[in-house]
Structure 1
Amino acid sequence: MSFFNDAISWAREQIHATAPVFIVYRTDGDSLPMTATKGASDFQAEAGDEYAAEDHTIDFLVNPADLVAASTSFKPKAGHEIDELDGEGGNVVATYRITALPGVPPWAWSGQSRAMMRIHTRQVGDE
């Protein structure tokens, strides 16, 4: 592993160690417990007639290696859900649905190294 890759791995570990959010990523048939870092994204798109529409998502930054179900890695899809757990990692405090905005996929690589994946969501429930 190169120095650059070692540094990225170290940085990812530091982010998860200092600001972890415990989540359960839910597909149609699997529930995957993992840690993430919570963030947000703002988007602006032309809505026509010289007006711009703004949109905001709650994002979860995850290690893409954690997205494995039935021994197969996968990419986030609109409609999958994420349950945010309390600090103890046991009780659901909020539920988010992965969303794809017009012209924006439901996830993006975070940074040039592709060491983290940013998943765009909207909150759909409080527990």
Structure 2
Amino acid sequence: MTDMLNQGLDWLGQMLTKHCSSQIIYRQDQIEVSINAVFAKTDLQLEDEHGISIRSFVWDFLIASAALGFEPQPGDTIVAEDKTFEVMNLSGDGCWRWTGPDRNMYRIHTKQI
């Protein structure tokens, strides 16, 4: 049964990239990669020093780790739809996390610059 579930997850990941992604340019230092990514967002709720809740969000990009070929780092940039986004750390969680149990897609946190 586990193999069937893993095969289903792989297939869903492929369909997500194939049908729901857009072409982006990912830049890290001197490396520039043209790759497909799925746009997403992460909602945040933070409290300031007065206890007032602040709601916000960050733009995320879902990118297959094998296709990118290296680990995202804070300060990297992504160009998508004529907008530039900077990879950033998110509340002590780092600048990316795995998406899904198969750990083959990065969820990269960014801010538009």
**TM-score, normalisation: structure 2:** 0.87
State, as a whole percentage, how many aligned pairs show the same letter: 29
- State the Cα RMSD in Å: 1.8
Q: CA deviation at 1:58?
A: 0.8
Q: C-alpha deviations, 1:30-53, integer Å up to 9, x for none?
A: 001110111111112232332223
Match of residue 82, structure 1, among 78, 81, 104: 78
Task: Tell me how far apart the structure 1 counterparts of residues 41 and 56 of structure 2 sit (CA, whole Å).
Answer: 11
| Cα offset, 1:61, TM superposition | 0.4
Question: Any conservation in 1 of the 2:65–2:104 contact (CA below 8 Å)?
Answer: yes
Contact 1:9/1:115 (<8 A) preserved:
no
What amino acid is the match of 2:36? T
Q: What residue is the counterpart of 1:122 in the other structure?
A: 111
Structure 2 match to 1:108 = 97
**Is the helix fraction higher in 1 or 2?**
2
- Once superposed, which parts of structure 1, at least 4 consecutive aligned residues long, lie more than 3 Å away? none
Structure 2 unaligned blocks of 5 or more: none
Using the alignment, how far apart are the partners of 2:101 and 2:85 within structure 1? 26
What are the ranges of 5 or more consecutive residues in structure 1 without an aligned counterpart? 69-73, 86-92
Mapped partners of 2:54, 2:95: distance in 1: 18
Q: Residue 88 of structure 1 aligns with which residue? A: none
Tell me whether 57-66 or 101-110 shows the greater mean CA deviation: 101-110
Distance in 2 of aligned mates of 1:52 and 1:21: 34
The total of aligned residue pairs comes to: 112
Q: Does 1:95 align with 2:95?
A: no
* SS of 1:2 mapped into structure 2: helix
Q: TM-score, normalised by structure 1?
A: 0.78
Secondary structure class of the residue paired with 2:14: helix
Q: How far apart are the structure 2 equivalents of 1:108 and 1:54?
A: 21
1:54 aligns with 2:65: no
